[in-house]
Amino acid sequence: MGKVYLVGAGPGDPGLMTIKGKTLLENADVVVYDALISAPILAMINPKAEQINVGKRRGRHSKLQSETTQLLIEKAKTNAVVVRLKGGDPFVFGRGGEEMEDIIKAGVSVEVVPGITSGIAAPAYAGIPVTHRGYSSSVTFVTGHEAAGKYRPQINWQAIALGSETIVIYMGIHNLPHIIPQLLQAGLPSTTAIALIRWGTCPQQQELIGTLETIIKQVDEQNFQAPAIAIVGGVVNLNSLLSGCRPNIV
C-alpha cells in the first residue's frame, strides 16, 4: 500500500512551487493533475511516472469528483508515491479536504503539501497587496462558484461586503452580474475599485481594473474570460503605483 500526497502546485509560476512539492513530483509513480497546472510545473514530473489529467473546466468535466478520489485510492494500492497535483492550495477551494476525507475512510495513507493560493499571489504580481495598513486590515476569501446541494443555500454577499475591507473572489467572473448588485445593495459605493486578474503569475497574466459600476461592461467589451479572480476594495488602487515592480514571470 502506497501513499497519496495532495500537493498544491501554486498559482502557475514554477518558481512558486514548494521544494517539497517539486521533490514529490520528481519521485512520483503516479501523478493525477488538474486542468490549470502550468506546463513548466508538469515538466517537473518524473518522466517514468504515469500522468493522468482529471481537470475540470467550465462546461466540460473529464471525471466526477468521486471517480477522481477512487482513482487515487486504487493507484495507491499498487504504487508507492501517488501525487494528486492541484492548482493553488489543496485546501483553499480545491476540494482537498473532501478528497482527504474519502482517502482516509478507505484506509489509505495521505498527506497534504500546501501551495501558494492564487488569492494572494495573483494580486501580488499585479501590485495589489490584499492587506495594507493604509487601506485594509481585513481580507475575506470567498468562492464565486458554489456547488449544488451544498451545506448552505448561498453566500451572504451583504454580510461579506460589510465584514471585510478587501474581498477576494475565486471563480466568480461568470457570476459578477449576480454578485455585484448584492455588494452594492449592502452599501458598498459604486466607485469601489475592483480588479480582475486572469492567468495570475503566468506569462500571459492579464488585468482588468475598474469599479463596481463599470466592471461588468468592461468584461463584456473586452471579452475577459476565466480563469480569473476578482479583488474588491481600496487596495486595488495601489495597482497603478506598485505594478511596475512586479516579479519577472518565467
Active-site residue, from 34, 75, 100, 102: 34
Active-site residue, from 3, 20, 22, 56: 56
1 in active site: no
89 in active site: no
C-alpha cell at 184: 452594492
Active-site residue, from 17, 44, 100, 171: 171
In the DSSP assignment, the letter for residue 14 is G
171 in active site: yes
Give the C-alpha separation, 128 to 235, whole Å: 6
Half-sphere exposure of 173 (CA within 13 A, CB side): 21
- Confirm if 42 and 83 have CB atoms less than 8 A apart: no
Give the C-alpha separation, 212 to 189, whole Å: 8
Give the C-alpha separation, 119 to 141, whole Å: 7
**Residue 166 parent element (H or E):** strand 166-170
DSSP string across 124-151: HHTT--S-BTTTBS-EEEEESSPPTT-S
Catalytic residues: 34, 56, 171
